[in-house]
Amino acid sequence: MRVDDHELAAALARRAGERLVELRAESTSDPERLGDAGDAAAHQLLIEALAQQRPADPVLSEHGVSGPERVAGERVWIVDPLDGTREFTEPGRSDWAVHVALAERHEVIASAVALPAQGVVLHTGEPPEQPTHGIARPRIAVSRSRPPEFVAALAEEIGAELVPMGSAGAKITAVVLGEVDAYLHGGGQYEWDSAAPVGVAGAAGLHTSRLDGSELVYDRPDPWLPDLLVCRRELAVDLLAALSDRPEGSR
Ligand SMILES: Nc1ncnc2c1ncn2[C@@H]1O[C@H](COP(=O)(O)O)[C@@H](OP(=O)(O)O)[C@H]1O
């Protein structure tokens, strides 16, 4: 029986995550070699499994393109075998992820994110319910290594607390699970960094957009997608208003 695309994304993200956990446990090498080995092993596992399970679909991975040629707007898998490579190599950290997304007509139609060190796999087939608690002081997840320049001033302006974390997948999952209220990123990223977790966040009913409020568009010829906002719906208007007040060029 052919599993559906949501279940396939979840199964592959889980399997690649298990491989990464094994590699991390066995590792005696330096962090750079462990990161490279993790990226390569998870990439290989995903492209082999997709070639077997969905031979007609091309794959765009952080580590290369494979399968049939991409045709704009048609099905394409967008995967990040290891998001948060740096955190993966730091013992004890659990903010790293595996992303598996399927895009069609330039939007994500099925996806999964695994956070293997937290034992979490979320997917679009069964998105989690959103928490109903109110927001006294918004908690905003930002990159721990490259937070956007404007973010400290923005947090002060709206009375928010910043929560530094690694991995776009881990940060978006934290919003989906209600551990933080928003994630914003500016200054650089690629489609594979956000496609899968944005798919899950959208399926869970969260707001997802570029920082200027425009739609996130996937499967473009150039995979550069430098900024995004994922947040609880009730925060979107205020956050987008505060973001639009930033001086030109600071986004
Ligand atoms: N300015 C930038 N340019 C390119 N990629 C960036 C970036 N800032 C963050 N990223 C990528 O986005 C992912 C999450 O970053 P962060 O942990 O800083 O939030 C990381 O992916 P990888 O770990 O897959 O390389 C990182 O490389």
Domain parsing of the chain, residue ranges: 5-123, 139-244
CATH class of domain segment(s) 5-123: alpha beta
Ligand 1 binding pocket includes 85 (Cβ within 6 Å): yes
Q: Give 222 Cα–ligand 1 centroid separation in angstroms.
A: 16
Q: Does residue 245 carry a pLDDT above 90?
A: no
Ligand 1 binding pocket includes 52 (Cβ within 6 Å): no
**Ligand 1: nearest atom to the Cα of 96:** 23
**Ligand 1: nearest atom to the Cα of 85:** 23
pLDDT tens for each residue of 176-206: 999 999 999 999 999 999 999 999 999 999 9
Q: Give 108 Cα–ligand 1 centroid separation in angstroms.
A: 20
Q: Please provide the average confidence, as pLDDT, over all residues in the chain.
A: 95
**pLDDT computed for residue 250 by the predictor:** 52
Distance of CA 201 to the CA centre of its chain: 9
**Ligand 1: nearest atom to the Cα of 95:** 17
Q: Give 189 Cα–ligand 1 centroid separation in angstroms.
A: 6
- pTM of this prediction? 0.96
pLDDT tens for each residue of 19-75: 999 999 998 779 999 999 999 999 999 999 999 999 999 999 999 999 999 999 999
Q: Are 182 and 138 in contact (CB under 8 A)?
A: yes
Q: Does domain 139-244 have CATH number 3.40.190.80?
A: yes
The residue whose C-alpha atom lies closest to atom 6 belonging to ligand 1 is 189
Question: What are residue 224's DSSP bridge partners?
Answer: 190
**pLDDT computed for residue 247 by the predictor:** 65
CA-wise closest residue to 77 among 22, 29, 9: 9
Ligand 1 binding pocket includes 148 (Cβ within 6 Å): no
* Whole-number Å distance between alpha carbons of 92 and 94: 6
**Ligand 1: nearest atom to the Cα of 83:** 24
ipTM over 0.85: yes
* Whole-number Å distance between alpha carbons of 118 and 17: 10
CA-wise closest residue to 121 among 131, 110, 113, 129: 113
